[in-house]
Amino acid sequence: MKPLDPSRAPFQSPPGGQPTPSQAKRRALIVVQGLGALSLVAYPGVLVASVMALAAPGHGLAQVVGRGIALLGISYPLAWGLLYWLSWRAFRRGRPGLALTFALPPLVFSLAGVAVLAVSALWSASILRGFARGNLQEAERIRAGNAPAGAVLLYSQGAMSRAELERVIRAADQVTLSRPVERREVEVPGVRVTTFPGSGPDPGRRHSPLAIALRESGLDRRLEMRGAEPMLEAARLLMQRGARLSAEEQAREGTLVWLVDLLSRDGRLPDPGAEQENPLVWKIMTTPPGSQGAVAEAIFSARARQPELLRVATRTYGTPLRAALLRGMGLRVRDLVNNGAVLSASERAIPSLVHQLDLCFDLPVNAGLRERYETNLRNPVPGR
């Protein structure tokens, strides 16, 4: 057998364990390709964004360019594979420089992606800081005109201690504690809002200190208490000092009126006892927003088997109709009314709740629903 010529063994390590120049170039090529392959981690997100861009409506040069970029986003793993194959092909033919040239585009792409993410993170952080400053400035502006309202906002942003909040609330008079203030929209840095010509500036809405505390708690949206609730404690402090919702809020804000009544009775959310009082109400309050079909089935089932459930009120959530209004389930409100549901006598005496129901009746899709509701009121038996 003919002995091997050491000069023709490209990957043989010389004495001393040091790699040959060819081995070093091979390892460098592997490192470059490995770093470039990291861009494949982002492919699932790029694929989703590219498909959405291709499906987006519109014509013109901008859309054509956008779709071209989307096609590149879908196919770049194939391009990387082709470049890596060409790279190794050139390396095996003894052209490491060309091999490195083929391996560099994925690495450049990965580094560019990292740079874009870093710049985006810095930009986002800057926007959040600017928005936080704007919120603080708005809270200070409100505090100058209504100390309790401004203090509640500062407390919600962590800019005021509980002890200081209590001091401000206890020092305020009864009129100030319930006087509404204008709360203006805080501009988001870097975001430009376009309005219709002649529309004028947004006049802003007026909120009482109690309404601000309840809205900042988020309970009016999630309808569920989660451990410590600092903003609910702020609302209780205001109520203990005699704070009330404004007249406009009492007439229009059905959810806030309900929350004030709940807190005055030291109620808790959720209230599992409602399931025993009326399982239909419990179904309405606990069904996820994306599963309203299950609520519709429960309504029609109650109509067929236990029609009295359509009008039985629970201590915490009221009747099924009020529960559906609390959850913002407009379609289920229509189902309830069409199957004989009404508000209870005590609920019909709450202006804000009647206002919510009127808004629902006024929708074009609910034509004739008001007449059906009035028929239900005259009929003591649900569903007849």
What does the alpha-carbon distance between residue 245 and residue 351 come to, in Å, rounded to a whole number? 13
Beta bridge partners of 182: 206
Q: Is residue 17 part of a domain?
A: no
Backbone angles phi, psi at 207, to 5 degrees: -135, 140
Asked if residue 301 and residue 225 are part of one domain, the reply reads no
Asked if residue 338 and residue 238 are part of one domain, the reply reads no
Q: Is residue 269 part of a domain?
A: no
Asked if residue 178 and residue 89 are part of one domain, the reply reads no
Residue listed under structure tokens 């100030």: 176
Q: Is residue 59 part of a domain?
A: no
Asked if residue 290 and residue 249 are part of one domain, the reply reads no
Q: Is residue 2 part of a domain?
A: no
Q: What does each of the 384 residues of the chain score in pLDDT, given as a tens digit? A: 455 454 444 444 455 555 566 788 888 889 988 888 888 888 888 888 888 877 777 777 777 777 787 887 888 889 888 999 999 999 888 898 898 899 899 889 888 888 988 998 998 899 889 989 999 999 999 999 999 999 999 999 999 999 999 999 999 999 999 999 999 888 877 666 666 555 555 556 899 999 999 999 999 999 999 888 999 999 999 999 999 999 999 999 999 999 999 999 999 999 999 999 999 999 999 999 889 999 999 999 999 999 999 999 999 999 999 999 999 999 999 999 999 999 999 999 999 999 999 999 999 999 999 999 999 999 886 655
pTM of the model: 0.75
Asked if residue 259 and residue 151 are part of one domain, the reply reads yes
Asked if residue 235 and residue 159 are part of one domain, the reply reads yes
Q: Is residue 13 part of a domain?
A: no
Q: Is residue 234 part of a domain?
A: yes
Q: Which amino acid is at 173?
A: D
Asked if residue 225 and residue 332 are part of one domain, the reply reads no
Asked if residue 87 and residue 46 are part of one domain, the reply reads yes
Overall number of domains in the chain: 3
Q: Is residue 86 part of a domain?
A: yes
CB atoms within 10 A of CB 349: 10
Identify the domain containing residue 91 by its residue range.
Answer: 25-52+64-124
The SS3 call for residue 363 is coil
Residue-by-residue DSSP string for 38-98: GGGGGHHHHHHHHHHHHHS---SHHHHHHHHHHHHHHHHHHHHHHHHHHHHHHHHTT-HHH
Tokens linked to 36: 């470039």
